[in-house]
Amino acid sequence: MVKSIKDLNLKGKKTFIRVDFNVPIKDGVVGDDTRIQEAAKTIKYAIEQGARVALCSHLGRPKGEKKMEYSLKPVADYINEKKIFPVKFVEDCVGKIVEDAVNNMKDGEVILLENVRFYKGEEKNDPEFARELAKPFEVYVNDAFGTCHRKHASVYGVAELIHDKAAGFLVEKEAQYFDKLIKNPEKPLAAIIGGAKVSDKIGVIKSLLKIADVILIGGAMAYTFLKYKGISTGTSLVEDEQMDTVRDVLAQADKAGVKILLPIDHIISDKFGGEPTVCNEQAIPDGYMGLDIGPKTRQEYAAALEPCKTVLWNGPMGVFEQPAYAEGTFSIAHKLASLGATVIVGGGDSVSAVKKAGVADKISHISTGGGASLEYVEFGTLPGIDILR
């Protein structure tokens, strides 16, 4: 188990909280503020406890240079404007300016430090930079699950240097769900893996073979599996260089007694985004590409999920950003909402599908980290979480 922020004495303590404020900003204005709202619970708790809070985040990829289009100042302005909590902006994340700001704070006050990726030392987890970041603080809290798979200074190096450390509410919830999924899930367990590339998901699929009872494959990666099995895939997206990988996965699944389900029919078109046609066969005709799972597959997948007590979903079933090819993905979302099982959804596309389908409140856990959630399942833990255990 990770230590929770509730286990720490925060009163009067100079507290470094790593948050994920990597939000879309256009013309200096914050677009989607979901990440800010999600972190607010931990921040408000720290304020109530009388902590002296410094928030640290990255924004975009400034590659270790001070590029002002990646400044977090618009985020501070937005938080104040929307009255989420009162915050002062500090124009750096290390050095005297930060030390002075921290030393002049009163209990329950909050500052937001400038983008931590303005320094090369952040992504390199440079020990000297980590020391600079940690210097003014007595307590470390990580509430940025989306960066927990990265061994960066603000995620790992600072946590190594500060004795009193814990997870914020977001990270604590993620760790609870993923630890249970990996160590003692309620069975039967199904994994639904979609998306374009086998190569992106191979590590997670191999780890799932140790815990899953059934794996449902969708999205373009299914065509690589079908082609390996000698089934015609027309002009569908296929990774020819992944055939050995697919062979290994199917052999391991066979050995472990894990059922791997592949689409038995498709929604196809003669070009990407063209007119949709139902293909009732598993084989896709020449000149056509698969762009979603078909109605028979939707039924078969729903039936396979019915008895399951735990489900992990990562990746869409088709090109769901186009309405003509979204039905497969939405059918999965609605089925999961009606199951009454522990359902974990991770990865940007699946998360937005669940939200678009209007069933987000029926899902046990919607993960805030795409890459982080995959690596958690693949490796059984993450550097940023391990350091808090």
| 168 marked among binding-site residues | no
- Strand boundaries in the chain, DSSP class E: 14-18, 25-26, 29-30, 52-56, 88-90, 110-113, 139-142, 164-167, 189-193, 214-217, 259-261, 266-269, 277-279, 289-293, 310-314, 342-346, 365-366
d(CA 88, CA 109): 9
| 290 marked among binding-site residues | yes
Q: How many CB atoms lie within 10 A of CB 323?
A: 10
| 150 marked among binding-site residues | yes
| 364 marked among binding-site residues | no
d(CA 378, CA 202): 9
Identify the burial level of 243 via C-beta atoms within 10 angstroms of its C-beta, where 0-12 means exposed, 13-18 middle and 19 or more buried. Answer: middle
| 71 marked among binding-site residues | no
CA distance readout (Å), 184 to 62, 177, 310: 40, 10, 11
| 113 marked among binding-site residues | no
> What letter does residue 233 receive in the DSSP assignment?
B
Q: How many CB atoms lie within 10 A of CB 362?
A: 16
Residues 6+ apart with CB under 8 A from 99: 135, 136
CA distance readout (Å), 47 to 82, 184, 254: 17, 35, 53
Strand 266-269's sheet: what is its strand order? 277-279, 266-269, 289-293
| 201 marked among binding-site residues | yes
Catalytic residues: 35, 197, 348, 371
| 35 marked among binding-site residues | yes
59 with 25: CB under 8 angstroms?
yes
| 22 marked among binding-site residues | yes
| 60 marked among binding-site residues | yes
| 349 marked among binding-site residues | yes
| 365 marked among binding-site residues | no
| 347 marked among binding-site residues | yes
340 with 220: CB under 8 angstroms?
no
d(CA 271, CA 26): 33
Residues written for the chain: 389
Mark the binding-site residues for ATP, compressed into ranges. Answer: 201, 290, 321, 347-350
Mark the binding-site residues, compressed into ranges. Answer: 20-22, 35, 58-61, 117, 150, 201, 290, 321, 347-350
Mark the binding-site residues for (2R)-3-phosphoglycerate, compressed into ranges. Answer: 35, 117, 150
Mark the binding-site residues for substrate, compressed into ranges. Answer: 20-22, 35, 58-61, 117, 150
